[in-house]
Amino acid sequence: MNTEIPSLHQAYTGTFKIGAAVSTRTLRREGSFIAKHYNSLTAENQMKFEEIHPDLDRYDFAAADEIVDFAMQHGMALRGHTLVWHNQTPNWVFEKEDGTPASREQVLERLRSHAQTVMGRYIGKIQAWDVVNEAIEDKSEEYLRETKWLSTVGEDYLEQAFRIAHEVDPSAQLFYNDYNETNPVKRDKIYRLVRSLLDVGTPIHGIGMQGHWNLYGPSIDEIREAIELYASLGLRLHITELDISSFDFEDRRSDLKAPTDEMAQRLTHRYDEIFKLLTEYRSEIDSVTFWGAADNGTWLDGFPVRGRLNWPLPFDRELQPKPSFWKILEHGQR
């Protein structure tokens, strides 16, 4: 590793934490690179319900423990991801033994014991939890996403989840996390949802803006408006899953083996304007996490177009800094 390259997170000391989504695989492969540039970790998958609690009576903590231990050894923060989500959650959570839907009380009891066991294990180590992930429906006319949480527990499932999480770890910062969070229609629904939670005294402390953006959008104005609206609730903001896809969502090309010059230039420009904006809101934003540590470990390879490569992060596949890295660094040092 080139030791002359400055540390990304050190450039942001006193501004906000700089995090990465990791797995035991990436930590084993490139742990020293990750520890040099990032001071916050999120398990990309290994704390999700189906991985950590696959069966009613079985938890599997091996991977999560390894990630938590790594963070502790390196003095890093941790974000817990995630307790209540419609994806990557086993069906048994919502079912009786005969396969019919479980009762509201049963599902809440399972959530409580899951939170006690998982959150409880990492009290004092995980400072922030994504308690509920992606509860808002993308279709404009609809409000809450239809999920098994909603159909079994009812509309107050978010409130209940936050109350349970707060009971288990009163010191943890509790987040609502979502994507397309800058889209004005969805943004207003997220605002309405969090407002309604606050109105009934729900213990919620922050909004996670996932930040799965691309080279063409959202605009800086849209990001700014979302930040201002969410911050007006008096909550803390985390950017939780930042990556800048090389492709517009509609773009289904899959033949490129490397980014074009135009893509590379746009990426530099995007990261420049995005970090200029984020540092402007440093008094609201506590943490900015990239969804992956470098381009060799991005979920966008293959999503949403199978077999397609993507180059969304400030470090390339050889873990070398791209021009975007240097732009991001400059904003931290200001």
The closest alpha carbon to 94, from 147, 179, 43, 152, belongs to 152
Q: Say which DSSP state 314 is in.
A: S
Return the percent helix, strand and coil in the chain, to nearest 5.
Answer: 40, 20, 40
Coil/strand/helix, residue 59 = coil
Q: Which is nearer to ligand GLA, 26 or 210 (CB)?
A: 210
Q: Which residue has the tokens 């953006």?
A: 213
Q: For ligand GLA, give the closer residue by CB, 239 or 329.
A: 239
Which of residues 210 and 268 has its CB atom nearest to ligand GLA in the complex? 210
We find the least distance from the C-beta atom of residue 241 to ligand GLA, in angstroms, to be: 5
Q: Tell me the two tokens of residue 166.
A: 């707060």
For residue 300, the minimal CB distance to ligand GLA (Å) is 8
Q: In whole angstroms, give the CA distance from residue 11 to residue 126.
A: 23
Residue nearest to ligand GLA (CB): 299
Round to whole Å and give the CA distance between 4 and 328. 17
* Amino acid identity, position 171: S
As measured in angstroms, the least distance from the Cβ of 103 to ligand GLA is 28
State the nearest-atom distance from the C-beta of 10 to ligand GLA, in Å. 27
Query: Please, which residue, 148 or 269, has the CB nearer to ligand GLA?
Result: 148
Six-digit token string for 288: 């900015």
Rounded to an integer, what distance in angstroms lies between the CA atom of residue 34 and that of residue 118? 24
Surface-to-core class of residue 55, CB atoms within 10 Å of its CB (0-12 exposed, 13-18 middle, 19+ buried): exposed
Considering beta carbons, is residue 49 or 179 the nearer one to ligand GLA? Answer: 179
Write the DSSP string, 134-156: --B-SSTT--B---HHHHHH-TT
Label residue 288 exposed, middle or buried (CB < 10 Å: 0-12, 13-18, 19+).
Answer: buried
> Residue 39 or residue 240: which is nearer to ligand GLA going by CB?
240
Residue 129 vs 179, nearer CB to ligand GLA: 179
Whole-number Cα distances in Å, 141 to 48, 137, 178, 208: 29, 9, 18, 23
Residues of the shown chain interacting with ligand GLA in the complex, contacts defined by CB under 6 A: 81, 133, 179, 210, 241, 299
Q: Which residues are catalytic?
A: 134, 241
CB count in 10 Å sphere of residue 28: 10
For the bound state, the minimum distance from the C-beta of residue 210 to ligand GLA, rounded and expressed in Å, comes to 5
Given a contact cutoff of 8 angstroms between Cβ atoms, the answer to whether 330 and 307 are in contact is no
CB of 292 to ligand GLA, least distance (A): 9
Write down the least CB distance from residue 88 to ligand GLA, Å.
Answer: 7
